Chain A
Amino acid sequence: EAGVTQSPRYAVLQEGQAVSFWCDPISGHDTLYWYQQPRDQGPQLLVYFRDEAVIDNSQLPSDRFSAVRPKGTNSTLKIQSAKQGDTATYLCASSLGRGGQYFGPGTRLTVL
């Protein structure tokens, strides 16, 4: 069974630039999560979906961040105008029921 896949694996931007991250969850997993993990910190939930519906986006900086999962499968997280404080690894995870979340390899973002 293929795991969670993410792309790109790395991104380097100047402040003010936009970037999109893409996630393909494990087949059949109905719930998809986006986390931000700054260096030397634990994962912090940004948003999660069940199928195509947003369940919780309360931690998403809505003025610059957006996330969609239009068909309930793949998902895209976008940062409209990146800031240096956005430098972190962005992790996607998926789950089915209470079996636990399975993480993708992450996208390491550096904003200069």
Chain B
Amino acid sequence: GDSVTQTEGLVTLTEGLPVMLNCTYQTIYSNPFLFWYVQHLNESPRLLLKSFTDNKRTEHQGFHATLHKSSSSFHLQKSSAQLSDSALYYCALTYNQGKLIFGQGTKLSIKP
């Protein structure tokens, strides 16, 4: 079945360093939609990025990601981490305008 795999567990970085959270997916469908959601403590998930176009970079709020269908990847990147980026990040997949398939989540902790 369809699945999403993310960088496991906790990623701890120092403020100012680059961020990269990995996301790979498996699906039999040729035109998946990929998303990144961010969830801060005691808040609900918020849509951060979305893409369905192969090899096209999408950007929002300093974060960017590129869907690469050849490698089934949609890694999340940011050039310089900020303290406020500390949160849970979920990569998610859909193909039928319906059910989202979430990865297991990656907790990002930014230290001063």
Binding site for B on A (CB under 8 A): 31, 33, 42-43, 45, 48, 50, 55-56, 89, 91, 95, 97-106
Q: Is the pair B104, A42 in contact by a Cβ cutoff of 8 Å?
A: yes
The answer to whether A45 touches B97 (Cβ under 8 A) is no
Complex CA distance for A69 and B102, rounded to whole angstroms:
24
**What's the Cα separation between A99 and B51 when bound, in Å?**
9
Closest to B50 in A: A100
Bound CA span A28–B33, Å: 21
- B1 interface hit (Cβ, 8 Å): no
Query: With A and B bound together, what is the CA distance between A42 and B104 in angstroms?
Result: 6
Q: A31-B97, A45-B99, A55-B98 are in contact. Are A99 and B50 (CB under 8 A)?
A: yes
- Number of contacts between A and B (CB, 8 Å)? 45
Is A103's CB under 8 angstroms from B46's CB? yes
**CB distance B97 to A42 under 8 Å?**
no
A56 to B100, CA, bound (A): 12
Check A103 against B99 for contact (C-beta < 8 Å): no
Q: Are B99 and A97 in contact (CB under 8 A)?
A: no
Docked complex Cα distance between A96 and B104 (Å)? 25
Q: Which residues of B contact A31 (CB under 8 A)?
A: 97-98
- Could you show 26 A-B contacts with beta carbons less than 8 Å apart? A31-B97, A31-B98, A33-B100, A42-B90, A42-B103, A42-B104, A43-B45, A43-B100, A45-B99, A56-B99, A89-B44, A91-B44, A91-B45, A95-B97, A98-B33, A98-B94, A98-B97, A99-B50, A100-B33, A100-B35, A100-B47, A101-B100, A103-B45, A103-B46, A105-B44, A106-B44
- For B90, the closest partner residue in chain A by CB is A42
B63 at the interface (CB under 8 A from A): no
Contact partners of B102 in chain A: CB under 8 A: 42-43
Q: How far is the CA of A31 from the CA of B105 in the complex (A)?
A: 24
